[in-house]
Amino acid sequence: MRRLAWIGVFLISGSLPALAAVGIGYSLFGDATYVSPGNNSNRAVQLISNANTGIYSGIDFAVPANLTINDLNTLSTDYKFTAASCALGSPRFGITLASNPNAAIFVYIGPPPNYTGCPLNVWANTGSLLTPAGFVDATQYGGAFYEPWAAAQAQFSGQVVTDIFLVSDNGPASGYSQTVLIDNTDVNATLYDYEFTSKDDCKDGGWKNFTFPPGPFKNQGQCVSYFAQQ
């Protein structure tokens, strides 16, 4: 996976808008796992990292064919740190352009300009990180570190976006590790809520994880029956 080349190298020392669809085109990589519950939901994704041991994790999102940087205007997510905090460029979104598939424009999560000090054990929302004045790190494509998104769109106008991902691969300098939960990620007006999608999620006690609609269920059979009817 080309993302391995980025791990540990390219580091730095509200309400969601109306969404067009609920996305299912995503995949987990590294040590990313599902956890229950999420943010007022049945499930979220847990990202863990430890730069000392090489542990990293993330979520890779589907990208529509021929999506250009000019048409990419929204990235946001709910997040909750359960160990450590945001630091050293992690966690962050990455936007890959066709001109160099081994590079990325990074969009950092946390309070600017240092992107540190994210609260512990509190769900928060980033708000839209791709406002025209919002800062991105375009250095891997020859841009600036604190570059407004509108400037990056103008600089790389017409370039096709080939990948969008969210990664945790570092942490605070005290331990270089972090654990963060991710839920309700908005990628250009497609919402990824990471919810259960099939009757298989009911098995092995999974039906007990439905603490929010369509649950709770009384037993596995009731859970399986719900998905069979969908």
pLDDT digits (tens, 9 = 90+) for 71-109: 999 999 999 999 999 999 999 999 999 999 999 999 999
Q: How far apart are CA 220 and CA 202, in angstroms?
A: 6
pLDDT at 230: 78
pLDDT at 9 over 90: no
Identify the helix (H) or strand (E) that includes residue 187: strand 177-187
Q: What is the mean pLDDT of the chain?
A: 89
Question: Looking at the structure, do residues 114 and 222 belong to the same domain, yes or no?
Answer: no
Q: What CATH number is associated with residue 35?
A: 2.60.120
Instruction: Collapse the DSSP code of 70 into the 3-class scheme (helix H, G, I; strand E, B; otherwise coil) and give the result.
Output: helix
What's the domain count of the chain? 2
| One domain, residues 73 and 171 | yes
Q: Domain of residue 228: give its range.
A: 196-230
Contact 74, 186 (CB under 8 A): yes
CA atoms within 13 A on the CB side of 125: 12
The pLDDT of residue 162 is 97
Average pLDDT over residues 38-45: 96
Residue 185 and residue 77 in contact, taking contact as beta carbons nearer than 8 Å: yes
